[in-house]
Amino acid sequence: MTRLVVPIEERNDDIKFNRISRGFSLAKGLVVIDLSDLGVVIDAFSLEIGGVQGENVLDILMGLEADLVLSEDIEPELSELLFNNNVKVALTESKYVKDALRDLLAGKAFVIPRKEMPIRYAN
C-alpha cells in the first residue's frame, strides 16, 4: 500500500474535485489517499490544516505516514526534509486531485528523487 498526500486550496465534499495547492505553505487542507500496489484507491479522506508552516507540515506528514506527496509545487526546504525521511515527491501540472492521480498512475507526473514508482497503474 502507498499513502499519498495532496495539499489542497480548499475542501470540497467530493474529494476528487479538490483543487491542488501550489505548495504546502498555501494549503488549506490535505487529501490523503491510500492506494493498493496496483493503484486502486482503498481509502481517501481530507483534513483541514490552514496556516500550518515549516516543520509542523513535516510532523503532520510523518504522523500520517505519507509515502508520497503530490503537488503542483513544493517548498525546497520541505522537499529536502521529505527526502531525508524517505518520502517521495511527485509534481503535477493538473489542477484537481482526480486528474493529478490519473497522471501519477499513468507516469505523467515528475517524481523525485527517483522516477521509480511504488505503485503501478491498475489497467
What does CATH list as the number for 2-112? 3.30.420.130
Percent of the chain with pLDDT over 70: 89
Please report the pLDDT score of residue 52 as a whole number.
72
What is the model's pLDDT at position 99? 95
Tell me: the pLDDT tens digits for 37-80? Answer: 888 999 999 988 877 776 788 899 999 999 999 999 888 888 88
Q: What is d(CA 26, CA 81) in angstroms, rounded to the nearest whole number?
A: 18
pLDDT (0 to 100) of residue 54: 65
What band does 122 get if pLDDT is binned at 50, 70 and 90? Answer: very low
Which of 97, 57, 59, 54 lies closest to 77 in space, CA to CA? Answer: 54
In the chain, where the domains are located: 2-112
Spell out the SS3 assignment of the chain: CEEEEEEEEECCCCHHHCEECCCHHHCCEEEEEEECCCCCEEEEEEEECCCCCHHHHHHHHHHCCCCEEEECCCCHHHHHHHHHCCCEEEECCCCEHHHHHHHHHCCCCEEECCCCCCCCCCC
